[in-house]
Amino acid sequence: MPLVELPSVSITGTGLFTPPESVSNAELVASLTESVLKWNAEHAEEIARGETAERAVPNEEFILKASGIERRYVMEKSGVLDPARMRPRLETRSEDQLGIQAEMSMPAIREALAQAGRKPSDVDAVIVGCSNLQRAYPAVAIEIQDALGADGWGYDMNVACSSATFSIQAAVDALRNGSANCVVVVNPEITSGHNNFEMRDFHFIFGDACTALVLERTADTTAPDQWEVLGTKLVTKFSNNIRNDFGFLNSSEVTDRDPQELVFRQNGQMVFREVCPMVAEHITNHLAQLDLTADDVRRFWLHQANLKMNQLIAKGVLGRLPTDDEAPVILDEFANTSSAGSVIAFHRHRNDLAPGDVGVLCSFGAGYSVGSVILRRR
């Protein structure tokens, strides 16, 4: 049988919601320092007997040197900085109120639709991809669909920090097989809810944000800014080096969970050592599958987890360290926003590219998981 040529699909709009409150490294360090000193004083006798280790106070210079992060946005600041709480203080919403993830999604989606020249009624599929969902069901995507006044279908998916690129492939597949005509991919990340602000090694890593993308068949769009999807490539490989065990079975387990297991935790050195070469090889192989090389790539929009990781990954692809123009950074302002990070980079750093320029949108994280989307400006 002759091969059937698949329809071309393009990203035609992007949107970003930035929470109104920002937390600096200095504020985080001051809060955790107060908490650590109090904990050490309360456990002084155990520490003196060698039964438990003294907790170390955080260091602002270490945060910047280790990660490149200067600040982050959060949905609620006072609870995060309260040494007695150290997690967001979010009000419980009634069932007739819009959920917090749906609420933060709406401004991002409306911006993306405006760029694409589409109305909410044009949307016939919504895919929510993020590292943590506020409930099991009903799906946040269906709540968003209802709030938009859109028809069609929607569902939630979670591949941690790679959720955006995995969602993009799902959207591309839906458009190519005819099950949708206008797909919204949205990434409502409230990472402050899963972060461990009590741990020196983790407390600075994450920030909150929400991104949105509109995807359509290229032949059906008249949007002024079109980014054709040349190809998508996904890979997963199981690892416990990034883990969060919070789930609906916690209350049914016979033994009590260590509270530290119910929030984000990682073996950072192992992640760095194993993920960087994995991602660089993934991008290189993806480019080769499309008869492209690193020299053909104008820009890399990488997952914004750690500055050194991004530099090493780009170096693995390019054979040299990237310039800021080749691999723009937004994590200094946003920190690690999980799946939203690479899309924020694309949202903010694409307008200067010329028609025909090629870029790589790539995310990676827990799983392990890696997703890449190779784009060409039309």
CA atoms of 197 and 29, how far apart (whole Å): 10
C-alpha R_g of the chain = 21
Residue type, 91: E
CA atoms of 97 and 267, how far apart (whole Å): 38
Q: Closest Cα partner for 212 from 339, 347, 363, 109?
A: 109
Helix/strand/coil for 208: coil
CB atoms under 10 Å from CB of 324, counted, come to: 8
The answer to whether 86 touches 35, Cβ cutoff 8 Å, is yes
Whether the link from the prior residue into 368 is cis, omega within 30° of 0, is yes
Give the DSSP H or E segment for 347: helix 340-348
Catalytic amino acids?
161
Residue type, 336: N
In the chain, how long is the greatest CA-to-CA distance?
A: 77
Residue type, 280: A
The answer to whether 337 touches 207, Cβ cutoff 8 Å, is yes
CA atoms of 87 and 211, how far apart (whole Å): 23
